[in-house]
Structure 1
Amino acid sequence: MLKKTPTKTIMLFSGRAHPTLAEEVAELLQTELVPTTSYSFANGEIYVRFDKSVRGCDAFVIQSHTAPINDAIMEQLIMVDALKRASAKRITVILPFYGYARQDKKHLGREPISARLMADLFTAAGADRLMTVDLHTAQIQGFFDGPVDHLLAMPILTRYVRKKYGRRDLAVVSPDAGRIKVAESWANQLQAPLAFIHKTRDPRKPNESKANRVVGEVEGRTCILVDDLIDTGGTIVQAVEALMEAGAADVVVAATHAVFSDPAVDRLKNSSAREIVVTNTLPLEDDKHFDKLTVLSIAPLLAQATAAVFEDGSVTSLFTD
């Protein structure tokens, strides 16, 4: 005789890259992270084993792709493979920061499209669904052959900016032409005019660009400079200084992912920006905190989206009033 089908069970798993964020998400979901044994062998190989049965569960595997980024990615792939082989019913990979997202197209001949390779790797490992925050370009969603929940940090960031700077004359500024659509959404949310920085970049020199001129009305305004990530800080600091030279009253930088590779911290804290606002999609060591920096938690968004996926609800409704 067949037994009654048990209700589905949510299980949340975390790699070692950003356990603080995973614990915050688990607390908001009123659950606990599944105990996991993880370690690296002397030659760098990674071992993972879950300390509880995962058969038939709805598994959510959270891992931010922080430095050393290849170790973080490999650990998450191994976790997905372990879940697949242990008969998890559905595996959702949560990527607060999607590694290799900047390599989404070929600029020169004989280059890889590494963002596509990432999606293929998770498919091969056994992932059924991806959840990520503020992709470098939205079309990366199409690289994964399955559902992708592309979450937006904009509501969290705009809520903070509106509360602190909403009484001022604002302008929303894109650091380059490629981010104008995102900046336009910000401008609509804040009811502010839109501007952008015209810049040039040599595809043969990573992390280097030159801000040429400001296009738009920024004089006398508090400029909200928006981007998806800050890596070495060169591009964003050049944009800050270009805005100040164009007569901006103040500049506030708002970005989702604080990659903060050296020398980003020194550049940012010595820049003319009034404040740098980021989220905690990536872990920040104590030496990367400074007076101008404000870190907002992305955990409530991840927890709400996870609950919606688990309950077969709408993720889109999280971004509509």
Structure 2
Amino acid sequence: MGGRSMYYIIPLSGDPDIGRKLAPLIGGKIVNIYTKEHPDGEQYIRLGDSVSGKRVLIVQSMFPEQDRKYIELLLAIDAAIRAGASRVDVLVSYLAYARQDKVFLDGEPISVGAVLKGIRAVGAERLYVVEPHSEVASKIYGEDFIEIDGISPLARAFTGEKNIAIFSPDLGGVERAQRLQSVMDSISGVYYIEKIRDRYTGEVVSVIREDIDLKGKTVLIVDDIISTGGTIANASRLVRGRGASKVYVACAHPLFIGDSINRIRGAGVDRIVCGRTVRRTVDGVEYIELHDHIARRVLESI
């Protein structure tokens, strides 16, 4: 890097301190910013340092107050471009509005598409996203979309654990569970909870295959987002009912809405391990810092 900063880094209000921890790892320099809120609630941003001719990386997490964090990001991108930055890239540790990536009913938007197109339209080039919930986000944004694995780094919390069965709450999350398996030892298998429709009542029920033996085993439930905790609580009750001796949970994005943490604990979960992708923290949760992992991915892509 020849002593020069690779990136001028602008950490925004949602950033869970990833930007400042990332700076020394990638040869970056932190840019000071001034923000305020107008009486009507609108946001104001001004860069406190020159970025003219520099490559800028803006760091944001879009939770809580998703709408506010998104607008702040757009304003920061525009400010950096108007200040003469040679290039503006963005790192989003939690991407909001990624749940809806297809139209289910007439009249609906594709929310992740609208959000990503806005980031691109205002002038951002490369977009790094930690564990995006949407499978089509990269197709929408294009080749400058860089996905960062937010699941594998959680394995360090389970070093020394033996005889673990990894579970995904559904078939769609099996790939995440397999990523975690690939960097862990002593895994007895990777499974998922099946959804079956009762042919008499039409009700969809969650089940575990009869041939899966969980007696005396530690089960690790893996998901990308914990919101209300209902999915995790349901999965925990199912594996406990099949004889699991311990139940752990690992997730990339710990939102923990309302009474979710008590709902999860009440369902028999012993440990909760999450990536540090949002600013808000909850007591009783183990948080894994991701800045070193993110730094490697950023350096690989440059």
Q: 2:194 maps to which residue?
A: 198
Amino acid paired to 2:174? I
Q: 2:17 maps to which residue?
A: 20
Amino acid paired to 2:14? A
Q: Percent same amino acid at aligned positions?
A: 26
1:304 to 292, 296, 300: 296
- State the SS of the aligned residue for 1:227: strand
Q: 2:266 maps to which residue?
A: 270
Equivalent pairs counted in the alignment come to: 291
Q: 2:76 maps to which residue?
A: 79
Amino acid paired to 1:297? E
- State the SS of the aligned residue for 1:83: helix
Cα distance change, pair 172–35 in 1 and its aligned pair in 2 (3 A) = same
Cα distance change, pair 210–61 in 1 and its aligned pair in 2 (3 A) = farther
Counterparts of 1:258 and 1:231 in 2: how far apart (Å)? 7
Question: Is the Cα contact below 8 Å between 1:119 and 1:144 reproduced in 2?
Answer: yes
- State the SS of the aligned residue for 2:49: coil
Which runs of no fewer than 5 residues in structure 2 stay unpaired?
A: 198-202
Question: What TM-score comes out, normalization by structure 1 length?
Answer: 0.84
Counterparts of 1:133 and 1:200 in 2: how far apart (Å)? 31
CA deviations on 1:173-208 (whole Å, 9 max, x unpaired) are 01012112222333344343121112479xxxxxxx
Counterparts of 1:61 and 1:164 in 2: how far apart (Å)? 37
Aligned counterparts, 1:108-257, within 5 A: 108-161=105-158, 163-165=159-161, 168-190=162-184, 191-199=187-195, 212-215=206-209, 216-257=212-253
Q: 1:43 maps to which residue?
A: 40
Q: 2:280 maps to which residue?
A: 284
Cα distance change, pair 173–211 in 1 and its aligned pair in 2 (3 A) = farther
Amino acid paired to 1:174? S
Amino acid paired to 1:116? G
Question: Is the Cα contact below 8 Å between 1:227 and 1:256 reproduced in 2?
Answer: yes
Question: Is the Cα contact below 8 Å between 1:37 and 1:49 reproduced in 2?
Answer: yes
Q: 2:90 maps to which residue?
A: 93
Q: Which piece of structure 1 moves more, 13-22 or 123-132?
A: 13-22
Cα distance change, pair 110–227 in 1 and its aligned pair in 2 (3 A) = same
Question: Is the Cα contact below 8 Å between 2:151 and 2:251 reproduced in 1?
Answer: no
Superposed displacement of residue 223, structure 1 = 0.9
Counterparts of 1:75 and 1:102 in 2: how far apart (Å)? 21
Superposed displacement of residue 13, structure 1 = 0.2
Question: Is the Cα contact below 8 Å between 1:11 and 1:34 reproduced in 2?
Answer: yes
Which runs of no fewer than 5 residues in structure 1 stay unpaired?
A: 1-6, 202-208, 313-321
Superposed displacement of residue 146, structure 1 = 4.0
User: Which runs of at least 4 in structure 1 moved beyond 6 Å after TM superposition?
Assistant: none
Question: Is the Cα contact below 8 Å between 2:8 and 2:57 reproduced in 1?
Answer: yes
Superposed displacement of residue 27, structure 1 = 4.4
Q: Which piece of structure 1 moves more, 57-66 or 293-302?
A: 293-302
Question: Is the Cα contact below 8 Å between 2:16 and 2:277 reproduced in 1?
Answer: no
Counterparts of 2:55 and 2:15 in 1: how far apart (Å)? 21
1:54 and 2:51 are equivalent in the alignment? yes
